[in-house]
Amino acid sequence: MPYFDAASSAPLHPVARQALLAALDEGWADPSRLYREGRRARLLLDAAREAAAEAVGCRPDELVFTPSGTRAVHDGIAGALAGRRRAGRHLIVSAVEHSSVLHAAAAHEADGGTVTEVPVDRTGRVAPGAYAAALREAPGGVALACLQSANHEVGTVQPVAEAAEECAAADVPLLVDAAQSLGWGPAEGNWSLLTASAHKWGGPAGVGLLAVRKGVRFRTVQPADERESGRSPGFENLPAIVAAAASLRAVRAEAVAEAERLRGLVERIRARVPELVPDVEVVGDPERRLPHLVTFSCLYVDGEALLHELDRAEFSVSSGSSCTSSTLTPSHVLRAMGVLSEGNVRVSLPRGTAEADVDRFLEALPGVVAGVRERLGAPKPAESEAEAAADPDPEPEPELVVDSLGKRCPIPVIELAKVIGEVPVGGVVTVLADDEAARLDIPAWCEMRGQTYEGERPAERGVAYRVRRRA
């Protein structure tokens, strides 16, 4: 069964498995002890730290191992904010950061700090100069800025080097979340702090990295501990750490060749999906992106149903759609980009993905999407517009109201599509909806289908979305 969700967690690399088994035999003792077994464990820990630091591009004494990538993010942000409290209490993040960063930002706000979210364009990328502008316009002294190296949902690579220069000019440290990209190469630019997670590159789960450059003001906010420079308390999971470092070195040795191969497979998906499946929007930057990840959204599709059907077809993919069991709100990444969220599919290919598996996915996808759309009663491509042109109503209604209150995506958009042909060109359809996804998906539908979105206004219940027929 092809596994296409490496962005969530990559399969364990063979080198990681070998290193883990070996370290279970050799690295079980306390590395802080002076007896033989402890010294052996210390040698393994030091070698793992040196290997990881080399891959990150920092000194070994600047890097500590944490129990997870999320823990690394939370500790890195909290420590930098505490260390620079005299400089100010303002934090700058991008609108598409991983939820761990946004949760840390929310906690900072709850504690009395302030936060700026830097917007992105429709590809999910921060504009050049955006961090410099955020620094200038900050309401107070800026303690820290955060920017991911590449987006976890759509694969867009961020201008980290440029942002680092802008932050350095303002004497503000930049924390880079490199979880998605570190297996492909080091983060660019003069960053100050960096975090990553081993299970994203094929290491074992439960190992994160936190690098803090010398000279960066940093104060650990948790109780003091003698391990990991006091920045990550508790007994080190040495076998997992050894496996994480060994697999990071291994995947980086393979990165150039594998990136080129996977990029070709992703290009095929990006090109073929819109040809095979009507009413699809491929999202993310088409050029500046991770080599293994592609995301697209399908009109008139329930995201949860689509994932279940792909799973039945033996394909493991994930989604940022609002129509899933885990959430009833659109992905914050897709919302920040202003793109279609319904029927969202993220394909992230693990290393070693076979070309035949990608071909089989492309063969299965059209039938799966068509089946889900048929069950939901979605219109066929351009059905309503074609019918209106073939048999026009002699006295069409100039305005219609569609009551979609209490209905979840993609039903409000489906109902809009079914009636748009019942108003004349220039007529208006108003959709009443209380599903948060409608705020994103109705404008996206208008852009995809050549209609005019005239905005929203509060209604007695929910929100009224106005769409004027242009075509």
In this structure, what token pair is assigned to residue 450? 């050549």
Q: Which of 287, 269, 288 is nearest to 277 (CA)?
A: 269
Within 10 angstroms of residue 436's Cβ, the number of other Cβ atoms is: 18
Residue written as token pair 């509060």: 458
Q: Which H or E element spans position 416?
A: helix 411-419
In this structure, what token pair is assigned to residue 49? 């730290």
Give, in order, the Cα–Cα distances in Å from 325 to each of 233, 314, 322, 330, 406: 35, 20, 9, 12, 16
Beta bridge partners of 115: 91
Gap between the Cα atoms of 431 and 384, Å rounded:
16
Per the annotation, the verdict on 298 as an active-site residue is no
Amino acid in the structure at residue 171: D
Out of 58, 167, 298, 323, pick the active-site residue.
Answer: 323
Within 10 angstroms of residue 60's Cβ, the number of other Cβ atoms is: 16
Q: Which of 170, 211, 166, 216 is nearest to 189 (CA)?
A: 166
- As a residue count, the chain comes to 471
Tell whether omega for the bond before 410 is within 30 degrees of 0, i.e. cis: yes
Write the secondary structure of 196-263 as one string of H (helix), E (strand) and C (coil).
Answer: EEHHHCCCCCCCEEEEECCCCCCCCCCCCCCCHHHCCCCCCCHHHHHHHHHHHHHHHHHHHHHHHHHH
Rg (CA), the chain: 25
Report the Cα–Cα distance between both ends of the chain, in Å, rounded: 43
Asked whether 464 and 438 are in contact (CB, 8 A), the reply is no
Gap between the Cα atoms of 242 and 130, Å rounded:
39
User: Angle, to 10 degrees, between the axis of helix 303-312 and the axis of helix 355-376?
Assistant: 130
In this structure, what token pair is assigned to residue 392? 């026009």
Gap between the Cα atoms of 226 and 203, Å rounded:
26
In this structure, what token pair is assigned to residue 58? 């920092």
Amino acid in the structure at residue 109: E
Q: Which residues are catalytic?
A: 323
